[in-house]
Structure 1
Amino acid sequence: MRVHLIPHLGQIPLDKLRTGHVRAMFTAIENRNEEIRTAKASTDPGVRATVAGVRPTGPSTRQRIRACLRKAINDALADELIVGSNPAALVKTPASRPLPVVWEDERVRRWGATGEVPGPVMVWTDTQIVRFLDYAAAHAPDLYPMWHYMAYRGPRRGEACGLRDSEVRLDRRETTINNQIATHGYTAVQKPPKSRAGTRDLMLDAETVKVLAAYRVRRAAWQLAAGSSWPDTGLFFVRPDGQPWHPNAVTQRFRRLVRKAGLPPIRLHDLRHGAATVALDAGVDIKVLAEQLGHSTTTLTRDTYQSVTKELGAVSPTVFPAILVSRFQRLGSGR
């Protein structure tokens, strides 16, 4: 609303809004995107500084802009504030979703020589995941358990940060996702998962159970040292002082550690993509995987991940723990 809709459409009376106005907004957004990309590629440090921290408005954000506007106009139509059709419904926005690409050896070599990253969504191989987690265990023990959980079970960042202590049942090898920490600007807020399908159970493999059990012991030592100053957040993953993790801080620490580990870059969210592609390669049913990821339908899961399962299989055919595959299949059969 603040960055896009009000600046571009805020001066137009609601009953005067037309499809052309909406199209003009998206044209202006794309023109601004090109300006940002050009400035970032400039050889002039002063020009690059003008767009420091500024990102182009990607396809997903443009879809959300359109969805927000469409919903607002539909509400106005329902309340009979205006009559006619919804101009936002007649405008199409880019719907392409970048597919995950595996960091195969040749891609890693080229990245090392040129710094070139093949795509916006990259997936580590099982060997690279293990390298990172081993490095994290030694250099970031406070966040290593969360990253392990994300790498092998695939929750979203906010879901991992907001995982409730009462929903971690290691004796039953399961966790329940029913809370997340999201950010509004930089303000962190707790709220339910992003959709009804987001509330779900995640089964755990034996190794993840060990990692989370060891973390619970470590957290108890932190609490003992803090004494009465330890806050009662009700969360499972917390900072050494007991406070909740801010999702942005988790991302920043992840980026720094990836660089220090000398690994090819991925986003924190790509740990989720890696967990999904590895699960499919291990033979987990697409419907079961969609439920575990919190997708409302299997279409998103299939379209996003199945294109890389063959590629991933050629790189890492035995990564997924057999016990986890078994539990996936048991969940799918309703047992």
Structure 2
Amino acid sequence: MNDPLYPLYHLIAHVGLRRGEACGQRRADTYLDAATLEVANQIVQYGWETGQSAPKTNSSEGLVALDANTVLVLRQHIACQDADKARLGSDWVDSGLLFTQPDGSPLHPADITERFYEIVRQAGLPPIRLHDLRHGAATLALAAGADMKVVQAMLRHSSITVTMDTYTTVLPEIALSAAEATAKLIPRSTSRPRQLGTGVDQPSPSE
């Protein structure tokens, strides 16, 4: 959590932004009082050079809800960024981006990935791709009981079919959990019905 890029990785892991979307997220599109952000910009690579553009498809744009802890992390990050801006004065590059270099200039997506791999290595974790954080956010949301349409909106997939095809491996476990949760809501008698004339409890035909 002490890494300067922790807030960026936290955001990807919790709401499933793509790498370029996280790097291109603008402060003006981040509405912490409303616990939402608008995905409306991304940083893309052209070879090694980078540029900014709108997300590649209309479905990739949209509002994403933020949980309370993520809002807190981003508030703290913005406070630190404002302190850096005040300290650097005229040397600050006013890119308007939520996540930047120490001088305010845009991040390079490849540097974000390289730093993530280094963090994973230092932590002694098995190989994890940065993009796996996006998948993890969706999987955890589904496991927590989020509707598939909600996850589709979070990931901004073009159709629910894409979401279902991508996360089909976790659906059986989620379906089982849903079945168990539903069963717990159905009231059951504490005693079994008795068969007439025997005085012995027997299962009813409907069981």
CA displacement at 1:285 relative to structure 2: 1.2
Contact 1:254 1:268 in 2 (8 A): yes
Find the aligned partners of 1:235 and 1:279 in 2 and give their Cα distance: 27
| Aligned residue runs from structure 1 range 5-20, under 5 A | none
**Residue aligned with 1:201, SS:** strand
Find the aligned partners of 1:288 and 1:205 in 2 and give their Cα distance: 14
Find the aligned partners of 1:149 and 1:159 in 2 and give their Cα distance: 11
TM-aligned CA distance change 1:263 to 1:173, over 3 Å: same
CA displacement at 1:311 relative to structure 2: 5.5
TM-aligned CA distance change 1:239 to 1:309, over 3 Å: farther
Superposed CA offset, 1:256-303 (max 9, x none):
110001112110011000001111111111112112111110111101
**Counterpart in the other structure of 2:193:** none
| Aligned residue runs from structure 1 range 162-241, under 5 A | 162-241=24-103
**Counterpart in the other structure of 1:154:** 16
**Counterpart in the other structure of 2:126:** 264
CA displacement at 1:202 relative to structure 2: 0.7
Contact 2:19 2:109 in 1 (8 A): yes
Q: Mind listing any 5+ residue stretches in structure 2 that lack a counterpart?
A: 177-207
**Counterpart in the other structure of 2:195:** none
CA displacement at 1:312 relative to structure 2: 8.4
Find the aligned partners of 2:73 and 2:172 in 1 and give their Cα distance: 30
Find the aligned partners of 1:185 and 1:252 in 2 and give their Cα distance: 16
**Counterpart in the other structure of 2:186:** none
Q: Which of structures 1 and 2 has the larger relative contact order (alpha carbons within 8 angstroms, sep 6+)?
A: 2
CA displacement at 1:182 relative to structure 2: 0.7
Q: In the alignment, residue 214 of structure 1 is paired with which amino acid?
A: Q
Contact 1:177 1:199 in 2 (8 A): yes
CA displacement at 1:306 relative to structure 2: 3.0
Q: In the alignment, residue 182 of structure 1 is paired with which amino acid?
A: V
Find the aligned partners of 2:175 and 2:78 in 1 and give their Cα distance: 34
Find the aligned partners of 1:143 and 1:310 in 2 and give their Cα distance: 35
Find the aligned partners of 2:172 and 2:99 in 1 and give their Cα distance: 34
Task: Write 1 or 2 for the structure with the bigger share of helix.
Answer: 1
Q: Mind listing any 5+ residue stretches in structure 1 that lack a counterpart?
A: 1-136, 315-335
**Residue aligned with 1:257, SS:** helix
1:292 correspondence with 2:154: yes
Aligned length: 176
Identity between Structure 1 and Structure 2 (%)? 47
**Counterpart in the other structure of 1:33:** none
1:305 correspondence with 2:140: no
* TM-score normalised to structure 2 length: 0.81
Q: Which of 129, 136, 144 is residue 282 of structure 1 equivalent to?
A: 144
* TM-score normalised to structure 1 length: 0.51
CA displacement at 1:203 relative to structure 2: 0.5
1:243 correspondence with 2:112: no
In terms of Rg, which structure is larger?
A: 2
